Amino acid sequence: MHQTQALLVDRRAALALAAAALLAGCASPPAPRAPTGTVGRREPAAPMPASRAPLDIDPGEREAAVAQAMLLVNTPYTYGGNTPRGGFDCSGLIQYVFAQVTEGARRLPRSTAQWAAVSEPVADAQMQRGDLVFFNTSGAAFSHMGLYVGNDQFVHAPSTGGTVRKVSLDNRYFAARYMGARRVFAA
C-alpha cells in the first residue's frame, strides 16, 4: 500500500512537469538571469529573411492594427487563446489583431515562428507602428512576440496569470531577450 502511494505521487509529479512543459511555449518567462552588457536593448543577431512569401498587408492598416491591439490591453492571458472572450497568448493576440484589420479571408500565421517566417526583418531605426517585435524567452529564437505601438513600446500577452499589456522595449527582462523587429506590411 505504501509503495502504491509513492508511485501515485511520482505519477502526479510527472504529470505536473509535463503540464508545465506544455504551457511554456509563448507562456511563462524563464527564470530571470543577470543582464549582460548594458541595460538597453541588445543588438539582435543578423536577421533572418522571410522563409515564406511575406504577408504584404496593406500599409494603410498599420494604425488600425495598433488601435486594435490597444483595445485588447487588460484582456486575460490564456495559453493557446486567440479571442478577447477566451483570452490570448502572444501569437494568438497578433493573429486576432490582423484578422480584425485585414479582410480575414487570408490564412494568417498562428505561432511566433510562423509569423517570423512570413515577415521581413526591419532595422530598429526603421521600425514603425504596427511592426512585430520578437524575443527569445525560452532559449529558442522567436519564442515570444508583440506589436510595436511607437515610442519604444509594444503590446503583448505576457504569461499565465497576466493580462495583455503595453511594455517598453527597454524593460530589463525584454531588452535582454530582444531578437529584432519584423514587418508584415507591403513596402
In the set 26, 57, 90, 184, the catalytic residue is 90
Cα–Cα distance for residue pair 136/143, rounded to 1 Å: 5
Cα–Cα distance for residue pair 56/58, rounded to 1 Å: 6
Walk me through the domains of the chain, giving residue ranges and CATH numbers: 40-183 (3.90.1720.10)
Helices (H) and strands (E) counted in the chain, each on its own, are 5, 8
In the set 156, 177, 182, 183, the catalytic residue is 156
pLDDT in tens, the chain (187 residues): 455 554 444 444 444 433 333 333 454 333 333 333 334 565 665 567 667 778 889 999 999 999 999 999 999 999 999 999 999 999 999 999 999 999 765 789 999 999 999 999 999 999 999 999 999 999 888 999 999 999 999 999 999 889 999 999 999 999 999 999 999 999 7
The three grid cell numbers given for residue 162, joined into one nine-digit string: 497576466
In this prediction, residue 67 carries a pLDDT of: 98
In this prediction, residue 33 carries a pLDDT of: 36
Q: What are the Cα distances from residue 163, in Å, to 82, 89, 97, 176? A: 13, 9, 16, 21
The candidate with the shortest Cα–Cα distance to 185, out of 123, 115, 126, 119, is 119
Verify whether residue 156 is a known catalytic residue: yes
Residue 87: CA atoms inside 13 Å, Cβ hemisphere, count?
Answer: 14
Q: Maximum Cα–Cα distance for the chain, whole Å?
A: 69
In the set 144, 177, 182, 183, the catalytic residue is 144
In this prediction, residue 2 carries a pLDDT of: 55
In this prediction, residue 44 carries a pLDDT of: 61
With beta carbons less than 8 A apart as the criterion, state whether 69 and 97 touch. Answer: yes
DSSP code, position 37? S
Cβ neighbours of residue 76 closer than 8 Å, sequence gap 6 or more: 87, 88, 162, 163, 164
